[in-house]
Amino acid sequence: MAEKTLQTLFHETLRDIYYAERKILKSLPKMARAAQSPDLKAAFEKHREQTEGQIERLQQVFEIIGKPARGKTCDAIEGILAEGDEIAEEYKDTAALDAGLLAAAQAVEHYEITRYGTLKRWAEVMGLKDAVKLLDETLQEESQTDEDLTAIADAVINAEALQPAA
């Protein structure tokens, strides 16, 4: 059995987030369709476009480390996305739907922020300067998306969720 090193861990984590990003890309249109708020729909659509670029950057990181761009099943993102689907179903046609969808989206963002932050640090330690730049760009996008979602929640969605459906 090959020795497990930081390089091994980096590659495995890269495969994990690559799988996650591809699953997220597939789920964002469904979330946008389920959202009632035009602002939330727009945020999901914007993030879908960003996710396409993030997947391309991950492919570049795979190239940097000389490995094929292949994902491995990420149980964490499967669970987070399943919770989002459950919220969409259980809160359909309620005032709280968008608050639930937004919370599910932020759970996704927080997972991504954690993964990209870790990968960026490890890339720094391993001297992968080009990978650091690519990972940092995505980390900044994910952090901004999280802030944007919070602003949408604070502006209208959470207050509207307090009211019974009309």
Q: What is the pLDDT of residues 13-45, one digit of tens each?
A: 999 999 999 999 999 999 999 999 999 999 999
> Distance between CA atoms of 96 and 67, rounded to whole angstroms?
44
> pTM of the predicted model, to two decimals?
0.93
CATH of domain 6-161: 1.20.1260.10
pLDDT in tens, 104-115: 999 999 999 999
What pLDDT is recorded for position 156? 87
User: Quick one: pLDDT at residue 13?
Assistant: 97
Question: Domain map of the chain by residue range?
Answer: 6-161
Which stretches of the chain score pLDDT less than 50?
none
Supply the pLDDT for residue 99.
95
